[in-house]
Amino acid sequence: MMGSRALLMLKGVSSIALKNQIFNFNCKSSRNSNSSFSFSQVVINHNKNNKVRRCSTTTTQSSLEPPDVSRLAETARITLTPSEVEEFAPKIQQVIDWFGQLQDVDLHSIEPSIRADTEDSNLRDDIPETFENRESMIAAVPSYEEPYIKVPKVLNKDQMAGMYHIGTKTSTGIPLFCTISNSDDWIPWVVDTLKAAAISGSMCVGFVSKQVVYAAINSQSNANRYQMVYFEKGGNPIERIL
Amino acid sequence: MLATLQPPRTLSRFPLYLTSRPVTLCTLTAQSPPSTSPPHSQILSIRHSLLTRQVTAAQLAESYLSRLRLTEPHLNSFLHVSDSDAVLRQAALLDQRIAGGEDVGPLAGVVVGVKDNICTADMPSTGGSRVLEGYRPAYDATAVRKIKELGGIVVGKTNLDEFGMGSTTEASAFQVTANPWDVSRVPGGSSGGSAAAVSARQCVVSLGSDTGGSVRQPASFCGVVGLKPTYGRVSRYGLMAYASSLDVIGCLGSSVADTGILLHAISGHDRLDATSSKREVPDFASQFASINLLESKPLKGLRVGVIRETLDEGVDTGVISAIRGAASHLEELGCSVTEISLPSFSLGLPAYYILASSEASSNLSRYDGVRYGNQAVADELNSLYGDSRAKGFGPEVKMRILMGTYGLSAGYYDAYYKRAQQVRTIIRKSFKTALDENDILISPAAPSAAYKIGEKIDDPLAMYAGDIMTVNVNLAGLPALVLPCGFVEGGTAGLPVGLQMIGAAFDEEKLLKVGHIFEQTLQNCRFVPPLIEDDTAW
C-alpha cells in the first residue's frame, strides 16, 4: 500500500530554480486522517518531448550538466545519506572538472579503442557445461531457500496502479485525485491524465512508485500549462475510483 | 570508513633489527652500504636445495611461516594467512614426491602470496572490501590453479586497496600495510600487501594485479621487482574485475629471475578468458644467464629511450637522479640511451580515470548482496541493493562508481568515455612509434619514493597524480618491469626507487633479459630492508 512506504522528496528539487510563484499546500485528506503532505514546487514547461527540463543555476565549465550526486547514487543503487552526498559532491565535481580537459583535445577522426589490442575471435563453443562446485556457490548465497535465492518483495505494479480520490482543496473546493503509475515514462502519462482532469477543473496528482509524488495543477487560463509540485506523503489514498 | 591509521611503530622492539646505518643517497658510486650483492633467484636455489636434499620443503615452509609470524604485526601485509598445518601438509606431500624421484614442477616448494582480489577456493577472498567479507569463492583463479599445479604453496591472501582502487592500501576496508623499509610509510598500492610481503621475505614471490600501476608502483616503493605483463598474456579468470580493458595479473619477486619464472608459470591462453591471447609463451626462464658468462658490453646495440615527460617538474629530484644513474648504468652495459618525447603523455591520466571509473561502475554492479557477500536487511528490493552496497563499499569505491555512472550516463558517453577511448588510441600509437625506434623505454615508476601513511588521504587529485608514470602503459596494454635502481633519503636506510622499463607488446623476454643484466651488474644497491637484514635464513 502506498501509505506504508515513506515517500522521499526528490532530492533534485533543491537544485532546480523556482521560476514562478510558490504555493505551499497542506492537504489533509478528510477520509484518511493519516495522510499529510508538504510541498515545494517547480514549474515545468510542457514540451513536445515530455522531458523535465532542469534549470541550471550555476555556470558550468562545459555545456554538460554538473553531476547530481543523489541521482547518480540512485542509478548506481547505492544508498547515500544527505551528509555523504554533501561530502562527495565537491570531490566528484573536482574530478569531473579535471576530466573536462579532454574536451579541449582535438580528437577529430581518431578511432576509439575498446582495449589495447584485439585478436581475432577468441570465443569458445557455446556448449553448456556443469560447474563442478555448485555446493560452494550456493553456500555463498546469503539468503537461500532451496531452490530459490530469497530477496525482499519488489514493488507490485498491479496492486497500485489506478486513480484515487484523496480529498478536496479546501480553498477552492476542487476535488483532489491521485493516480498511481509505476511506469518510467510517467511524464507523458501524467500529462495525459492532467488534460483529462483539466476539463473538469480539478487537480490531478500523479505518483511514481513510492518515492515521489507529483501533483499537477491546471491553470485555469491556459489549458496547456501545468504547474508541477513535489511532495512527500505519509498516508493512504482514500478510495480507488478507476 | 577508511582503515584506521596506525601510529608509527618503533623498531627497537623488533628482534631482528640492526643498528641504524648512514643514509645513502641514490647513486651508484656512494660509499658501499652492507648487503649490496645482487639478489639471486630464490626459486632456483630452493629447487636446487630440495633436489639435492639439503633441505626439505617442510623446513623451508616453516622458516617462511615463522618469519611471516614475526614480521606480520609490524607490516599487516596479509588479510588471511593459511593454516600452518595445511601449508606443512602440502610441503610434506612435495617432500614425498621428491623422495620418490618424481618430477616436481618449476615452483616446487615456493611459498606464494596472492593478492586478495584473486580468487582462491579454499581461502576467503574479500577484494579488500566489506562487501565480500567472509566470501569464499567456489573456484581458483587460473593463475592460482597453475601455481598449485606447478608445486607452489599459497601461504595467504595479501592486503590491497579495496577492489584495486588506490595507491597505498589505505583504502583497504581492513588494515593498512606498512612499508618494510620504513613502517611509518605506505608500501604503495593497490598491491601493497603483495609487495611488502616479498620485500620482507614473508613469501618468495607474490601475485598482484595492475590496472593503472598497482604492481609497479608498490614494487618501486618496497624495493622489489614488479612485472606487469602484456594485456592478454595472463588469464584474468578469477581476478575480481575493476576495469576489464586495463586489468592484468602481475608478478612480484625479489629478483628479476623470480618474477620471470613466476610469469612463465601463470601465462598462457585460457578458454575461460575471452581476452587472453593465443600467442605462444616463450620460455622466460631461459633469459637468466649467469653474470659470469656475460661479455663486457652485454647489452650492446640495445636502444633505450628515456621518456622526457617523466623527468619533468613534479618529480622528486632524488628520483630523477636515480633514473639518470640507471640510464648511465645501461650505457655502461652497451646500450645507446636517448631522450624521447611522448607528447600525449599527460592526457593519459584523465583518460585512464574516466575509463577505469566507468568500467568499475559497471563491474561492481554485481555486488548487490543477493548471490554472495554481505546482505543488508531491507523490506524492499531496491533498498536491499542500495543498503548492501552502501554498507559494503568504502568511500573511494563509492566515489569512483558515482563518477563512472556519470561518465556513462546518456548524453555524457560521447564527452567522456568515448573521448577517453580516443585518447587511448593516440597513446597506443605514440608508444608503438617510440618502440619501433627503441627496444625499451625507461622512466620512473612513481614521482617520489614512499610517502608517509596518511599524507595523501584527503585530496583525490593529489593521489591520482602519482599514477602518471604508470597508467599510459595500461592504456596501451604493454608489458613493463620495475626493479630497484637507487635510493633517496628517508627512513633509516634510505627509501628505494624503482626503474620502470617498458617493452613492446608481448616482448616480456626482452624486458626480463635487460632487467636481469641490469640488476646483476648493479653496484652498491641494497636489496634487503633493514627490518629483516639480520635473518640469513632467506
Q: Which of A11-25, A132-146, A168-182, B477-491 has the lowest mean pLDDT?
A: A11-25
Q: Which of B44, B445, B51, B479 is nearest to B258 (CA)?
A: B44
Of the pLDDT bands very low, low, confident and very high (cuts 50, 70, 90), residue A156 is low
Instruction: Identify any residues that bridge with B226 across adjacent strands, giving them in sequence order.
Output: B252, B482
Average pLDDT across chain B, whole number: 90
> Contact B172/B3 with Cβ under 8 angstroms?
yes
Q: Assess A108–B contact: CB distance below 8 Å, yes or no.
A: no
**For the residues of B45-65, what is the DSSP string, one character each?**
HHHHHHHTTSS-HHHHHHHHH
Q: Which of A34-48, A89-103, B241-255, B399-413 has the lowest mean pLDDT?
A: A34-48
Contact between chains at A88 and B402 (C-beta distance less than 8 A): yes
Of the pLDDT bands very low, low, confident and very high (cuts 50, 70, 90), residue B172 is very high
Residue B440: CB partners within 8 Å, gap ≥ 6?
B302, B303, B304, B305, B501, B502, B503, B510, B511, B514
Contact between chains at A115 and B386 (C-beta distance less than 8 A): no
**A119 vs B278, B415, B416: nearest CB:** B278
> Which residue of the set B77, B214, B357, B448 is catalytic?
B214
Give pLDDT, residue A65.
74
* pLDDT tens-digit readout, A205-226: 554 444 444 555 544 444 455 4
User: For residue A184, is pLDDT > 90?
Assistant: no
Amino acid identity of B376? A
Closest residue in B to A112 (Cα) is B422
Q: Give B-chain residues touching A124 at CB under 8 angstroms.
A: 271, 274
Contact between chains at B395 and A69 (C-beta distance less than 8 A): no
> Contact B492/B21 with Cβ under 8 angstroms?
yes
Determine the residue among A56, A74, A103, A107 to mutate to test chain B binding: the one whose Cβ has the most chain B Cβ atoms within 10 Å: A107
User: For residue B232, is pLDDT > 60?
Assistant: yes
The rounded distance, in Å, linking the Cα atoms of B234 and B228 is 10
The rounded distance, in Å, linking the Cα atoms of A188 and A226 is 13
Active site residue B206: no
Q: Give A-chain residues touching B139 at CB under 8 angstroms.
A: 131, 133, 136
The rounded distance, in Å, linking the Cα atoms of B106 and B104 is 7
Determine the residue among A61, A93, A95 to mutate to test chain B binding: the one whose Cβ has the most chain B Cβ atoms within 10 Å: A95
- Phi, psi torsion values for A128, nearest 5 degrees: -65, 145
Give pLDDT, residue B314.
87
CA atoms within 13 A on the CB side of B470: 35
Segments making up each domain of chain B, as ranges: 35-348+417-459+473-523
Closest residue in A to B375 (Cα) is A142
Task: Give the number of other Cβ atoms within 10 Å of residue B66's Cβ.
Answer: 13
- Cell numbers linked to B67: 618469519
- Tell me how close the Cα of B343 comes to any Cα of chain A, in angstroms: 12
Contact between chains at A77 and B386 (C-beta distance less than 8 A): yes
> Contact B123/B157 with Cβ under 8 angstroms?
yes
- Angle value at C-alpha B189, between B183 and B190, nearest 5 degrees: 135
Q: Which of A234, A225, A240, A179 is nearest to A206 (CA)?
A: A179
Contact between chains at A131 and B138 (C-beta distance less than 8 A): yes
> Contact B163/B365 with Cβ under 8 angstroms?
no
Residue B319: CB partners within 8 Å, gap ≥ 6?
B26, B444, B446, B447, B448, B449, B488, B497
The rounded distance, in Å, linking the Cα atoms of B177 and B168 is 8
- Tell me how close the Cα of A32 comes to any Cα of chain B, in angstroms: 24
Q: Which of B174, B198, B196 is nearest to B187 (CA)?
A: B196
Instruction: Identify any residues that bridge with B248 across adjacent strands, giving them in sequence order.
Output: B210
> Residue B417: which H helix or E strand, with range?
none
Burial category of B89 from C-beta neighbours within 10 Å (exposed 0-12, middle 13-18, buried 19 and up): middle
Task: Give the number of other Cβ atoms within 10 Å of residue B339's Cβ.
Answer: 10
Task: Give the number of other Cβ atoms within 10 Å of residue A154's Cβ.
Answer: 10
User: For residue A192, is pLDDT > 90?
Assistant: no
A 27-66 → B contacts, CB under 8 A: 62, 64
The rounded distance, in Å, linking the Cα atoms of B427 and B343 is 9
User: For residue B52, is pLDDT > 70?
Assistant: yes
- Tell me how close the Cα of A89 comes to any Cα of chain B, in angstroms: 9
> Which residue of the set B41, B77, B82, B115 is catalytic?
B115
Q: Give B-chain residues touching A95 at CB under 8 angstroms.
A: 353, 399, 403, 460-461, 464
Q: Give B-chain residues touching A141 at CB under 8 angstroms.
A: 370-372
Of the pLDDT bands very low, low, confident and very high (cuts 50, 70, 90), residue B434 is very high
- Tell me how close the Cα of B386 comes to any Cα of chain A, in angstroms: 4
Give pLDDT, residue A14.
29
Amino acid identity of B257? A
**A94 vs B276, B406, B461: nearest CB:** B461
Q: Compute CA distances B396 → A222, B1, B217, whole Å.
A: 50, 9, 19
Start-to-end CA distance of chain A, whole Å, equals 16
User: For residue B453, is pLDDT > 80?
Assistant: yes
Q: How many residues in chain B?
A: 538
A 179-218 → B contacts, CB under 8 A: none
Q: Give A-chain residues touching B478 at CB under 8 angstroms.
A: 116
Q: Which of A2-16, B198-212, B314-328, B331-345 has the lowest mean pLDDT?
A: A2-16
- Cell numbers linked to A37: 503532505
Q: Give A-chain residues touching B384 at CB under 8 angstroms.
A: 151-152
Give pLDDT, residue B27.
33
Amino acid identity of B215? V
Q: Which CATH number fits domain B35-348+417-459+473-523: 3.40.50.410, 3.40.190.10, 3.30.360.10, 3.90.1300.10?
A: 3.90.1300.10
Closest residue in A to B379 (Cα) is A152
* pLDDT tens-digit readout, B493-534: 899 999 999 999 999 999 999 999 999 999 877 888 888 876
Strand, coil or helix: B466: coil
Q: Assess A116–B contact: CB distance below 8 Å, yes or no.
A: yes
Contact between chains at A140 and B135 (C-beta distance less than 8 A): yes
pTM assigned to the model: 0.79
The rounded distance, in Å, linking the Cα atoms of A99 and A93 is 10
Percent over 90 (pLDDT), chain A: 13
Strand, coil or helix: A180: strand
Amino acid identity of B155? V
Of the pLDDT bands very low, low, confident and very high (cuts 50, 70, 90), residue A43 is very low
Contact between chains at B365 and A77 (C-beta distance less than 8 A): yes
Helix axis angle for B192-199 and B57-75, nearest 10°, is 120
> Contact B21/B33 with Cβ under 8 angstroms?
yes
Pairing of strands B336-340, B303-307: parallel
- Cell numbers linked to B378: 531491507
Give pLDDT, residue B527.
85
Contact between chains at A102 and B405 (C-beta distance less than 8 A): no
Residue found by looking up cell 612499508 in the block: B179
Of the pLDDT bands very low, low, confident and very high (cuts 50, 70, 90), residue A155 is low
User: For residue B161, is pLDDT > 90?
Assistant: yes
**B139 vs A102, A133, A143: nearest CB:** A133
> Contact B128/B145 with Cβ under 8 angstroms?
no
Task: Give the number of other Cβ atoms within 10 Å of residue B295's Cβ.
Answer: 8
Q: Assess A1–B contact: CB distance below 8 Å, yes or no.
A: no
Q: Compute CA distances B446 → B215, B450, B493, whole Å.
A: 12, 9, 19
- Tell me how close the Cα of B209 comes to any Cα of chain A, in angstroms: 17
Give pLDDT, residue A210.
43
- Is the model more confident about B527 or about A61? B527
Give pLDDT, residue B459.
76
User: For residue A11, is pLDDT > 80?
Assistant: no
User: For residue B425, is pLDDT > 50?
Assistant: yes
Contact between chains at B505 and A75 (C-beta distance less than 8 A): no
Q: Compute CA distances A128 → A27, A125, B371, whole Å.
A: 59, 9, 21
A 120-159 → B contacts, CB under 8 A: 122-124, 131, 133-134, 136-137, 139-143, 149, 151-155
Contact between chains at B386 and A79 (C-beta distance less than 8 A): yes
Of the pLDDT bands very low, low, confident and very high (cuts 50, 70, 90), residue A167 is low
Q: Which of B369, B340, B318, B421 is nearest to B131 (CA)?
A: B369
Contact between chains at B461 and A149 (C-beta distance less than 8 A): no
> Contact B295/B257 with Cβ under 8 angstroms?
no
Of the pLDDT bands very low, low, confident and very high (cuts 50, 70, 90), residue B368 is very high
Active site residue B214: yes
Task: Give the number of other Cβ atoms within 10 Å of residue A147's Cβ.
Answer: 6
> Residue B12: which H helix or E strand, with range?
none
User: For residue A175, is pLDDT > 80?
Assistant: no
What beta strand segments (E) does A88-161 contain? 144-145, 148-149
User: For residue B410, is pLDDT > 50?
Assistant: yes
Region B311-327: mean pLDDT is 94
Give pLDDT, residue A2.
31
Contact between chains at B406 and A153 (C-beta distance less than 8 A): no
